[in-house]
Amino acid sequence: MTVRNGSAEWHGDLQSGSGTVVVGEGVFEGAYSYTSRFETGEGTNPEQLIAAAHAACFTMALASALSSAGHVADSVHTTAQVMLRNIDGAPTLTRIDLATTGVVAGIDEAEFQRFADEAKAKCPISRALAAIPEITLTATLSQ
């Protein structure tokens, strides 16, 4: 079993307090606050970290699926947008939009979409986020 870690520390109340989040053993360390999470303040937030994790995991899963089938990608680039809204008075993740672009020789758009759909289904982060009502995927093959 592989174990990965992260940590967070918070000081103060929700609206005027602040915190830090650490990924791994200092791979990334960032500040976060009420305004960085629920408004447009500086710093990061858990939803950005989820978006980055999902984009990274999906991209690796897609590259793996492609290369396993003999189509090593020149590049695969993915963005993820995580939507947070209030449902019944509680902040809730309601949707994630994945957008991926690949430069892969020897396949067409439909085949690339099939590989992308497979990667989305098998990516551990996608599977962990399965409770989110909607996870969309736009896959574009670039030449």
Is there a single domain that holds both residue 64 and residue 34? Answer: no
Rounded CA separation 7/22 (Å): 5
DSSP state of 123: -
Is there a single domain that holds both residue 82 and residue 58? Answer: yes
Helix (H) and strand (E) counts for the chain? 4, 6
Which residue's structure tokens are 């892969």? 104
Within a domain: residue 1?
A: no
pLDDT digit string (tens) for the chain, length 143 residues:
899 999 999 999 999 999 999 999 889 999 999 999 999 999 999 999 999 999 999 999 999 999 999 999 999 999 999 999 999 999 999 999 999 999 999 999 999 999 999 999 999 999 999 999 999 999 999 97
Is there a single domain that holds both residue 68 and residue 23? Answer: no
The CATH number of whichever domain residue 135 belongs to comes to 3.30.300.20
Within a domain: residue 116?
A: yes
Q: How many CB atoms lie within 10 A of CB 26?
A: 7
What is the domain range of residue 64? 46-142
Identify the bridge partners of residue 42 per DSSP, sorted by sequence position. none
- Give the pLDDT score at 94: 97
Number of structural domains in the chain: 2
Whether this prediction's pTM lies above 0.85 is answered by yes
**Contact at 8 Å (CB) between 101 and 143?**
no
Is there a single domain that holds both residue 100 and residue 78? Answer: yes
